[in-house]
Amino acid sequence: MELAERFLLDALAYLECALGVVCYVLLKLVGSPYGRYASPGSAFELPARAAWAVQELPSLALPLLACAGAPAERLNRWPNCILLAMFLVHYAQRTLVFPFLIRGGKPTPLYAFLLAFIFCTYNGYLQSRYLSQYAVYADDWLSDPRFLTGSALWLIGMLINIHSDHVLRNLRKPGETGYKIPRGGLFEYISAANYFGEVVEWCGYALASWSIQGWAFAVFTFCVLFTRAQQHHKWYHEKFEDYPKFRKIMIPFLV
């Protein structure tokens, strides 16, 4: 039974990588039709705050269940606990904090909400089950350069992501409407600083975990967010004649 589930977790990780590539191609073709790109008056929309909180919830609940439910054989090891805590901290912020900071967010189309909920359930199971039951690390893994570098990247990426979200929330003063050019932080160099932070965060997590499960999440995140960043970058240039020409899309000084 354990061997079968371990094989399943590896298969799900490879499938997640493949789905990331498929999403990249599809989103390049059709774009991301939600948020500012959603058609006005689309049917079956959900309030932004509630949609965000519920769609992210599985990635918070499933790791907690892994800790509280059946014996989590590997969570008596510090590397497994710290890696699962990284995952939990991110989704605690995205589920319990971020939605309630949203200011006037556009309604979320039902299909976008369902896709996000399904992914969070899928990936939440994959990461939490692997780390709680099957991931095996050497006794000195906490001092391994891969773990130390990955943990630092995870923290830096999370802080960039949170700060960039703060910048975006405060673009408009109370009562103002319309869109503005983001200023400050990494937005001085790239159009999608918040997405860059999240990609760095999960690449750090993948490096620290050194697992196909972790890297699958990082690959999927990059594939989805990079297409969204390209869409934002193009939109900014079309909407604002004075948009800084030197800004890159999502990777400072490069792309």
**103-134 pLDDT per residue, tens:** 877 888 898 999 999 999 999 999 999 999 99
Number of folded domains that form the chain: 1
Instruction: Judge whether 52 lies within some domain.
Output: yes
In angstroms, how far apart are the furthest CA atoms of the chain?
61
**Residue 144: which pLDDT band, with cuts at 50, 70 and 90?**
very high
**Residue 38: which pLDDT band, with cuts at 50, 70 and 90?**
low
Whether pLDDT at 41 is above 70: no
Instruction: Judge whether 255 lies within some domain.
Output: no
Instruction: Judge whether 167 lies within some domain.
Output: yes
Whether pLDDT at 175 is above 70: no
Instruction: Judge whether 248 lies within some domain.
Output: no
**Residue 72: which pLDDT band, with cuts at 50, 70 and 90?**
confident
Instruction: Judge whether 250 lies within some domain.
Output: no
Name the pTM for this structure.
0.93
Type and span of the H or E element at 233: helix 212-239
Instruction: Judge whether 66 lies within some domain.
Output: yes
What is the average per-residue pLDDT within 206-230?
Answer: 97
Instruction: Judge whether 135 lies within some domain.
Output: yes
**Residue 70: which pLDDT band, with cuts at 50, 70 and 90?**
low
Helices within 31-137 (DSSP H only): 48-68, 78-92, 98-101, 110-129
143: domain range? Answer: 1-239
Beta bridge partners of 46: 108
